[in-house]
Structure 1
Amino acid sequence: MDVPSGFRQRKSGQKRKAKGTKSQKPQLFQDTSSPPQPGQFPPPGNYGQPQGYDPSGMPPGDVNQFPGQQYIQDPMANLAMQYGTSWAGQSKDMLNKNIEQYVATSKIKYYFAVDTAYVGKKLGLLAFPFTHADWSIKYNQDEPVAPRYEVNAPDLYIPVMAFVTYILVAGLVLGTQDRFTPEQLGIQASSALVWFIIELLVVMFTLYVMNLRTDLKYLDIMCYLGYKFVGMIVCMLAGLVLQRMGYYGVLLWFSISLVFFLVRTLRVQIQPHSTGDDFSRGNKRSLYLILTIAILQPLLMWWLTNHIMFGRKQ
């Protein structure tokens, strides 16, 4: 079929034009390879956010504030905060001063200033005090010498260790008799501690009522009353090996030794009045108190150990 020449040219030109141009498809992602043009992107920090929006959640104009800032800027709030801080510091200082008055750290350290040589000598003195001659306590500038340098000085190391060992030995004795239970061990520990506290309070109250001049402090009294636990340990161990004969034999020996030790030691610590007729009365009162404390120790030793050694199986 013959086609006019003009029509063929127009058709071929349209084809060439179609080949030279590409079809425009919708762009899914924005091209970031070229630098953005002015006005192409919104200002920084406002992507998809309404005008005046603050990420902290505060209304516009409060961006530089944070919760509680208005209270800090308040003069009354600052004054109250300063007063509270100063009051807390004063209360802490007052509490530490009161605690230091009754339970001073330096005083506690003095009673635990011991070494191995002192512990060995002290245990020997408790068991065999009859050959000891000098019972005075040496002083250095109105302060007693530390126990490690003075065997006559009271200490808390031996009483504390003896009390813990007494509880352990009591558990051992109860175990050999098939009577051991955790409750029984707690009962023995609490019973010994309660009796010790009662004894300490009675002695301190007696010293106050009798108005005796003495160098004894309550920590010194705790030391002397706690030495009986050493004899209680040896009594129970002897009872495990030699039964009743060993128990009562060791109990008798340590009772005599402890009474002798306390009488000779407390005579140095408890001093009678020295004015006029009060001398003889003060001397008698102090002697009665010393004998009462000394004789009470063997009774408590027997009371706190006999039911453990020879108690009936429940």
Structure 2
Amino acid sequence: MSTAKVQIQSGQFTQLPNGTRLHYASAGELGRPLILFVHGFPEFWYEWVAQLEEFGTDYFAVAPDLRGFNLSDMPIDPAAYKARHIVDDLQGLITMLGYQQAIIVAHDWGGAVCWNLAIALPRLVEKLVIINSPHPYLFMQALASDPVQQAASAYMNWLRQPGSEQALEKDNFALMEGFFQGMGQPPAVWFDADTRSKYHACWQRGLHGGVNYYRASPMHPPTSQATGAQRLELNPADFCVQPPVRIIWGEADQALPASLLTGLERFVPDLQIVRIPEGGHWVIHEQPERVNALLRQLITS
């Protein structure tokens, strides 16, 4: 592995077989092993800038803007954000880049999508590394029966409501920035002026795509209008993950506590978990060098 930083190429687009146009950034040489970095809400490809610089030295490192975020297509209809469509996007991206398989690193909503990808299309996944994103069956159980998780996830029901995107835009994205100041981590030192300007530029392109992930998902805390996750009747056997899974979990995450890892070995035969006790939901930003070192360790183990 070279110690020299590689140049990140952004502004790249691909038209997928399903018609979706995705933007992505990359680092490294096409033809090297593919490592795919998949962001969550309210982020975009730039979440992974430190990882692109690190892994572009010996991989072809790619970080897309998911459908609905930043420069990628942003459908209006919430139904366009069902998990199967996002999984199809990622399958199409891997194929369009000329690969049959990838190492996948995913966080938050990106993790939710990539759990589903690894379950449905295991042949595409050489190894899955998840950072603070719960397994779908375990999350469903917690939303349905754990009052602590229901309270921690109450924001999901607010985001599902009509007009949430307009509320998030008010006062120069004050509520959006608030996401980075909660969820268990100290004030976001990493969210400096330059980073803030990049995120504002992303958010100004539209927020309805991001909140539509919440509207399209059947999993959310129960409400007086709908019982949310309690209505789902899922077979745990359908949620087994065959590819190797490696977990990095910031245990100070207030929205997604480490209790969501309990029982994960039931669904993942090849599993390793690394816990960062002081790490918050945004541990990728808080401790990028540590995360990079752990990723190096986990993707080769």
Q: What's the TM-score bracket when you normalise by the shorter of the two chains?
A: under 0.3
Higher RCO (C-alpha 8 Å, min separation 6): 2
Which structure's residues are more often strand, by fraction?
2
TM-score norm. by structure 2 comes to 0.25
Q: State the structure with more CA Rg.
A: 1
